[in-house]
Structure 1
Amino acid sequence: MIKEWATVVSWQNGVALVSCDVKAACGSCASRAGCGSRVLNKLGPQTTHTLQVPSEQPLVAGQKVELGIAEGSLLGSAMLVYLTPLAGLFVLGGLFQMLFGTDLAAMCGAALGGVGGFLLARGYSQRLADREAWQPVILNVALAPDQLRVESLSSEAR
């Protein structure tokens, strides 16, 4: 189970709307200049993801929850997203090369196969998203923000 903490945005009728922060590149390894994660994090302006998660327990805005998702579903979705366009690229590129015998035809077939594989993955991922095993679940619930109070004594009171 892969776990991540999220913040509750709202809760209504047994469904919690939670927000997860996108992890920035860590910057602790030596390959900062060639790190693909670092480059991808800089490209997108999105810094949070919002998810709807079923929760029978009432939650309040600002409360932290620990979400979990099965490794199998995460690996399956990653394979679908990355391997389907790659397989389409190779299959149609090879097929066009055999049929037409030119590099230009192979390049066009590869482009069509890659785009077709992407569209196939996009359509199939909608069906997979409805499966219960592929949905994130709430594992732990932290205290509500108004239930925790921290008091510190000033230096004058000591």
Structure 2
Amino acid sequence: MIKEWATVVSWENGEALLSCDVKASCNSCASRAGCGSRVLNKLGPQNVHTIAVSSAQPLVPGQKVELGIAERSLLSSALLVYMAPLVGLFIMAGLFQALFGSDLAAMSGALLGGTGGFLLARGLGEKLTRRNEWQPVIISVGLPPDAVRVDTFSAQDGR
């Protein structure tokens, strides 16, 4: 199970709207100062993803929840997204090269196969996201933001 913390944006009728921060993997590397990838990550947009997850327990905006998704579903979706266009590209490029015998035909076939593989992955992805095992689930729920109170005392108060 792959786990990530999210913040509740709203909860209504058993469905929670959650906000997840996008984290770059560059934050924990020892060579952060001289890394070109870190600089490129800072230049791009800092995205926040919002997802809807079913929750029978009432949640409060600002509350933290731990989400989990099955590793198998994540790996399967990554395999589908990356491999379908790549396989389509190679198959159609080879087929067009064999049929027409020119590099231009192979390039056209590669473009057609890559686009077709992308569209296939997109269509299958929409069908697969309806499966329950592909949906993120709430594993644990943190305290509501107003449930935690911190009192500070100074030496002048005499307490």
TM-score, normalized by length of structure 2?
A: 0.90
Give the equivalent residue in structure 1 for 2:10. 10
Structure-1 residue corresponding to 2:130: 130
Question: Within 2, Cα distance between the matches of 1:71 and 1:41?
Answer: 28
Secondary structure, aligned partner of 1:26: helix
Question: Corresponding residue for 2:153?
Answer: 153
For 1:76 and 1:139, locate their aligned partners in 2 and report how far apart those are by CA, in whole Å. Answer: 21
Distance 1:52 1:13 in 2: 12
Equivalent residues in 2 for 1:81-96, closer than 5 Å: 81-96=81-96
2: CA distance, partners of 1:132 / 1:38: 38
- Relative distance call for 1:40 and 1:128 in structure 2 (3 A) is farther
Percent of counterpart pairs with the same letter?
61
Q: 1:99 to 1:40 in 2, by over 3 A?
A: farther
Change (3 A) 1:17 1:117: same
Provide the rounded CA distance (Å) in 2 between the counterparts of 1:71 and 1:62: 27
Asked if residue 99 in structure 1 is aligned to residue 99 in structure 2, the reply is: yes
What corresponds to 1:58 in structure 2? 58
Looking at structure 1, the residues matched to 108 and 155 of structure 2 have their Cα atoms a distance apart, in angstroms, of 73
Q: State the match for 1:67 in structure 2.
A: 67
| Deviation (angstroms), 1:42 | 4.2
Deviations 1:59-103 (A, max 9, x none): 000000000000000000000000000000000000000000011
Match of 1:117 in 2: 117
Evaluate the alpha carbon distance shift between residue 39 and residue 88 of structure 1 in structure 2; reply closer, same or farther with a 3 A threshold.
Answer: farther
- Letter of the 1:123 counterpart: G
List runs of 5+ in structure 1 lacking aligned partners. Answer: none
Could you say what secondary structure the match of 1:11 adopts? Answer: strand
Alignment CA distance shift 1:156-1:144 (3 Å): same
RMSD of the alignment, in Å? Answer: 1.9
- 1:38 Cα deviation from its structure 2 partner: 6.9
Specify the alignment match of 1:32 in structure 2: 35
For these two proteins, the number of residue pairs brought into alignment is: 155
Change (3 A) 1:152 1:29: same
